Amino acid sequence: MAEEQFLVPTKIYLKSGIHIGTKFQTRYMEQFIYKTRQDGLCVLNLQKIDERIKMAANMLSKYNPEDIVVVSRRENGWDAIKLFGKYTGTRVFAGRYPPGILTNPQLEIFTEAKIIVATDAWPDRNAINDALKIGISVIALCDTNNQANGIDLVVPANNKGKKSLGLLFYILAREYLKNKGTPISEEELNINQWMEE
């Protein structure tokens, strides 16, 4: 695939480590693995990562910001999803997902949503289970060791690294805004703030 067709240059993908998986792989994630390194780490296929990020951005673009909820139990995703929420207007839950916010209308913090994005299918499973109970779509970032049960769209990626998550949510925000007809300048979005340690 020609580099111009990627959402960001290959070197930026590689610098973020978005393609570095774990030493474990589930059967479902095998289709996204390019190779296994000598040290046992699985390497995800960049072309498939790029394709799935495009699919996720297109899927999210069908929804208004108030209909989208993004969750990240994993601390390395907190800054990235907060920036995503800041630029797109979506609701984000960085840290512990409050139980029942999607399913219990009696709660003060009850939230109606039409789609959720989970940064990791395992730690964010409570949010995914709530989404399944009410029948809304789920996009989840999955590493080589994740299961894909109940997920509508799997985005293969290193979902543990801060730079990887920063880059992924930067691209999602940029593409979402572009698809919604409100593109934002590269200077204003500033990729560096998303990928700093």
The DSSP annotation for 79-132 comes to HHHHHHHHHH--EEEESSPPTTTTT-TTSTT----SEEEES-TTTTHHHHHHHH
Block residue for tokens 């996720």: 56
pLDDT at 184: 87
User: Six-digit token pair at 173?
Assistant: 């925000």
Distance CA 152, CA 137 (A): 6
User: Six-digit token pair at 140?
Assistant: 């989840």
66, 115 contact by CB (below 8 A): no
**CATH node for 3-195:** 3.40.50.10490
Residues paired with residue 77 on neighbouring β-strands, in sequence order: none
180, 61 contact by CB (below 8 A): yes
User: Six-digit token pair at 115?
Assistant: 């789609």
pLDDT at 1: 45
pLDDT at 195: 87
One digit per residue, the tens of pLDDT, for the chain of length 197 reads 444 589 999 999 999 999 999 999 999 999 999 999 999 999 999 999 999 999 999 999 999 999 999 999 999 999 999 999 999 999 999 999 988 899 999 999 899 999 999 999 999 999 999 999 999 999 999 999 999 989 999 999 999 999 999 999 999 999 999 999 998 888 899 999 998 86
Report the sign of the C-alpha dihedral through residues 150, 152, 157, 160, in that order. Answer: negative
Domain residue extents for the chain: 3-195
